[in-house]
Structure 1
Amino acid sequence: MNTVTRPRILVVGAGFAGVGCVRRLERKLTPDEADVTLVTPYAYQLYLPLLPQVASGVLTPQSIAVSLRRSKKYRTRIIPGGAIGVDLKSKVCVIRTITDDVVDERYDYIVLAPGSVTRTFDIPGLTEHAFGMKTLAEAAYIRDHVIAQLDLADASDDPAERAARLQFVVVGGGYAGTETAACLQRLTHAAVQRYPRLDPNLIKWHLIDIAPKLMPELGDKLGRSAQEILRRRGIDVSLGVSIDKAGAEEVTFTDGRVVPTHTLIWTAGVVASPLIATLGAETVRGRLAVTAEMALPGHDGVFALGDAAAVPDKAKSEENAICPPTAQHAMRQGTVVADNVIAALRNEPLLPYVHKDLGLVVDLGGKDAVSKPLGIELRGVLAQAVARGYHWSALRTNVAKTRVMTNWLLNAVAGDDFVRTGFQSRKAARLKDFEFTNEYLTPEQVRAQVEGK
């Protein structure tokens, strides 16, 4: 008896791109047309742009962790783990599950949307002593850590220790770094009022970036406006400066300054997931080189999108322009790549991805924001309304929208909360402990795993 098996579609990653693809596949494919499997360590989609508000306590962690299992029509199989290698020739994805088992998952079509990891450099002490801002666990951990510094400073009778506990350094003048510094500074500014033994003037926030401008994508005027808002709040903004070395109790800047601190937050950009390097395929600045249809040339049934893929930006006139690694592009690419997987399944022509950027929004907390929707420069309350309105509308479920709006209203009426949740254990956890970048295989190891050697 011949057994007819359905085509197997494997989606790697549950970010904006991966979830957008899976949802589209579920809506447009009948259950008999294909089996859909999703590889992700967590059964939720994280709304990354709002992580700084989780770190500052404005939003609760579960508000921006949108469950993948809420839909009653959800039929995608979830493998709880992370892809650590792909053998394109054998059409096998190697997965390390959350129980540390290594399994081979075969596919007929694969959609690679593993996202990105924090970009680091060979700076002494960086990965051992810096915090990242890329995962929900890191955001919750940083909140506990920052509040703990206030508690420890208040309990200390040593002026030097107290001063070091109350200095905070954020590296990275992009959206993530700027919003992180702005939101956490507001948290400490409000919290110190509850610590009568602490001098508020001792709290110092430093935002540094090697680039000459803050958030250059916003343009000179809005970038300067954001910088002025931060400086008005007392945040020391240093441009053209980075980290020379990092220690447990101090950080040395490249301009020679030594800042005593127990808090170094590193948000200096991202790079494509190390999974891409396991394919042995052509890359563009570390991102997988794909066609405008997001297909991998020379490999049938392989698609890639989001932060991990160099998707040609057909909306721009510049030659060889690629889409920036933003949530806006990832969400829309997910829809198009799902349609292309279905088209490939049905032997239909593929469609190129074309999308013009709708603009940028930067939420600096409170009534402060700068936004550039459709090229229109906005500041203050109106910019804040646009920023929060955009984020709110982009949340995928009504439950998530309700939670976020309730948190915003509660924070506006009742103010900040300064309770540590207990996520922080006595053993410190830093950047190297959250992203597991040493788990990935080499192309040779992938082949050995697949061949059973």
Structure 2
Amino acid sequence: MASVGVVAAKRILIVGAGHVGLYAALRLSKKLNLHEAEVTVVDPQPHMTYQPFLPESAAGNISPRHSVVPLRRELKRCHVLSGTVTSIEHARKVAIVQPIIGPAREVPYDHIVVAPGSVSRTLPIPGLREQAVGFKTIGEAVFLRNSVLDRLDVAATTTDPATRRRALAFVFVGGGYAGVEALAEMEDMVKGALRYYPEIPKDEVRFMLVEAANRILPEVGPEMGAYTAVQLTRRGIDIRLGTRLDSCVDGLVKLSDGEAFEADTIVWTAGVKPHPMLQDTDLPLSPRGAITCKPTLQVVDAEGNVVEGAWSAGDCAAVPDLTSPDPAALCSPSAQHAVRQASQLADNIAAVVRGRKPVDYRHKHVGSVAGLGLYKGAARVYGIKVRGLPAWFMHRTYHLSRIPTLNRKIRVLVDWTLQLVLRREVVALGSLHEPREAFTEVAVPIPLPVRSPDALGRKAA
């Protein structure tokens, strides 16, 4: 009697645990059993950040811990590696992973999902690297909150008018979702905090939005973008359209319209670009550095040939938009597409593992919603324009439905419910960024002995 061979489980490696990586891993772990596939997720962070909640986390509407999803808790059927993929050699089907500590290791795979996401797209502006902060991670959101509240303390205490003006100047560069929502939420937070700072008149606080284009929030359309600009201006926010940041050396902000002033807080939200790690792979890339894909989310080369076993989606992928009349149109780098692409990608990998054909990703962008602070918003959904409180409610409802896991949905909902009856906290915890400073100030300095070549003090053989 002939023996029946056992088919080895396919090794599926997911690079990155953002919107695409986490959703794909969750879906694959449910659709494929352990005999069919082994799923490994690699990310330097032990959590996935739900980026649409960063503005509310910075403003104190949501606890920062509730806007992130712990990987090991949710991916129980996956193998989680805490490290960074430094390069991919798809010709050998091997990824090089640098753990948090220790030597790099090779991780072999049969299928790879390349989804490291995007990074801030910066420009060669003098002083930007030294003075500005981005707004893509939970750490940056917490830092911004602490920094803004700390500047209020500085302004309320100093007797120097120049120091006061500099502390109360808050500049946000970039008029897309991230910039407008972060600006609106922080202005709303500061306005609420000023009741505890009688030393600071409201008209001394200066919020500015700098945008190189002639409109903001292009995602919600020209009319709603104009509505947003009017609403922010009525709140005393200085909006500079068609203006660039030329320099910010030592906090001296110089704009292309000729104005110059000092500011302690400069937030850079002027777009994103595919993760630079993609340059260290042998996978085909588009001119903007994104991985070229078919509508099935399989990687393809310049001739349109499928690169077997390679998949991608989200911000780092160039995926054709089949719902657009333009044959060259690509899906926008939005959370709406990333979440849906992740589900289709996981279904397609499961289909290929089981010997079936993958299906094209097709999703018509239904619209966009933006939060502009408590009880304020702007939205355009199915061509319908919504403003104010209804748009704010739509914004919260949509993102509550999108954040993964029931655990996080409940925690966010509890945060919002408490906020209805309790005022938000306005405490700056700046010591989080330099936790050892207080200790090192009181610790007695002792000259350290000179180390021998063998750091462990072992005798030479």
Normalising by the residue count of structure 1, what TM-score does the alignment of the two structures yield?
A: 0.91
| Residue of structure 2 aligned with 1:370, choices 378, 401, 405 | 378
AA partner of residue 329 (structure 1):
H
AA partner of residue 262 (structure 2):
P
Please state how far the C-alpha of 1:426 moved relative to its aligned partner.
8.5
AA partner of residue 275 (structure 1):
M
1:57-94 superposed Cα distances (whole Å, 9 cap, x missing partner): 111111111223334x8210000012121111111111
Change (3 A) 1:126 1:404: same
In the alignment, is residue 326 of structure 1 matched against residue 334 of structure 2?
Answer: yes
Question: Residue 9 of structure 1 aligns with which residue?
Answer: 12
Give distance in 2, aligned partners of 1:202 and 1:20: 45
Give distance in 2, aligned partners of 1:64 and 1:394: 12
Across the aligned residues of Structure 1 and Structure 2, the Cα RMSD in angstroms comes to 1.8
Which stretch has the larger CA shift, 33-42 or 215-224?
215-224
Give distance in 2, aligned partners of 1:309 and 1:393: 24
In the alignment, is residue 401 of structure 1 matched against residue 409 of structure 2?
Answer: yes
Question: Residue 92 of structure 2 aligns with which residue?
Answer: 90
Give distance in 1, aligned partners of 2:110 and 2:368: 37
The answer on whether the counterparts of 2:8 and 2:35 sit within 8 Å (CA) in structure 1 is no
Which stretch has the larger CA shift, 207-216 or 195-204?
195-204
1:176-206 superposed Cα distances (whole Å, 9 cap, x missing partner): 1000110001111111221122222111000
Which stretch has the larger CA shift, 76-85 or 100-109?
100-109
2:298 partner SS:
coil
Give distance in 1, aligned partners of 2:274 and 2:260: 32
1:145 partner SS:
helix
Structure 1 gap segments, 5+ residues each: 429-453
Question: Residue 392 of structure 1 aligns with which residue?
Answer: 400
Which stretch has the larger CA shift, 376-385 or 187-196?
187-196
Question: Residue 443 of structure 2 aligns with which residue?
Answer: none
Give distance in 2, aligned partners of 1:413 and 1:211: 40
Give distance in 2, aligned partners of 1:186 and 1:207: 15
Give distance in 2, aligned partners of 1:25 and 1:209: 41
Give distance in 2, aligned partners of 1:212 and 1:426: 42
Q: 1:181-196 maps to which residues of 2 (within 5 A)? A: 181-196=183-198
Give distance in 2, aligned partners of 1:389 and 1:413: 19
Question: Residue 301 of structure 1 aligns with which residue?
Answer: 309
Give distance in 2, aligned partners of 1:346 and 1:406: 42
Task: Considering Cα pairs closer than 8 Å and 6+ residues apart, tell me whether 1 or 2 has the greater RCO.
Answer: 1
Question: Residue 26 of structure 1 aligns with which residue?
Answer: 29
AA partner of residue 87 (structure 2):
G
The answer on whether the counterparts of 1:301 and 1:344 sit within 8 Å (CA) in structure 2 is no
In the alignment, is residue 57 of structure 1 matched against residue 67 of structure 2?
Answer: no
1:86 partner SS:
strand
Please state how far the C-alpha of 1:259 moved relative to its aligned partner.
2.0
2:72 partner SS:
coil
Give distance in 1, aligned partners of 2:134 and 2:102: 23
AA partner of residue 235 (structure 1):
I
Please state how far the C-alpha of 1:346 moved relative to its aligned partner.
2.4
Q: How many residues align?
A: 426
AA partner of residue 11 (structure 1):
I
1:275 partner SS:
helix
Q: Percent identity?
A: 36
Change (3 A) 1:52 1:369: same
1:251-285 superposed Cα distances (whole Å, 9 cap, x missing partner): 11111211210110000010011121112423142
The answer on whether the counterparts of 1:145 and 1:424 sit within 8 Å (CA) in structure 2 is no
The answer on whether the counterparts of 1:140 and 1:423 sit within 8 Å (CA) in structure 2 is no
Question: Residue 288 of structure 1 aligns with which residue?
Answer: 291
Question: Residue 241 of structure 2 aligns with which residue?
Answer: 239
Give distance in 2, aligned partners of 1:262 and 1:141: 13
1:409 partner SS:
helix
Structure 2 gap segments, 5+ residues each: 301-305, 438-461
AA partner of residue 423 (structure 1):
L
The answer on whether the counterparts of 2:8 and 2:36 sit within 8 Å (CA) in structure 1 is no
Please state how far the C-alpha of 1:374 moved relative to its aligned partner.
1.8
1:93-143 superposed Cα distances (whole Å, 9 cap, x missing partner): 112222264222111110011110000011111122110000011101111
Which stretch has the larger CA shift, 18-27 or 172-181?
18-27
AA partner of residue 62 (structure 1):
R
Give distance in 1, aligned partners of 2:6 and 2:129: 51
The answer on whether the counterparts of 2:19 and 2:342 sit within 8 Å (CA) in structure 1 is yes
Please state how far the C-alpha of 1:315 moved relative to its aligned partner.
1.1
Give distance in 2, aligned partners of 1:226 and 1:42: 34
Question: Residue 423 of structure 1 aligns with which residue?
Answer: 432
Please state how far the C-alpha of 1:411 moved relative to its aligned partner.
2.1
Give distance in 1, aligned partners of 2:149 and 2:314: 34
Please state how far the C-alpha of 1:301 moved relative to its aligned partner.
0.1
Runs of 4+ in 1 over 3 A off after TM superposition: 2-5
Give distance in 1, aligned partners of 2:327 and 2:141: 38
Give distance in 2, aligned partners of 1:337 and 1:269: 25
- Highest CA radius of gyration, 1 or 2? 2
The answer on whether the counterparts of 1:144 and 1:424 sit within 8 Å (CA) in structure 2 is no
Please state how far the C-alpha of 1:427 moved relative to its aligned partner.
10
Q: 1:29-428 maps to which residues of 2 (within 5 A)? A: 29-71=32-74, 74-99=76-101, 101-280=103-282, 281-297=284-300, 298-421=306-429, 422-425=431-434
Please state how far the C-alpha of 1:358 moved relative to its aligned partner.
2.0
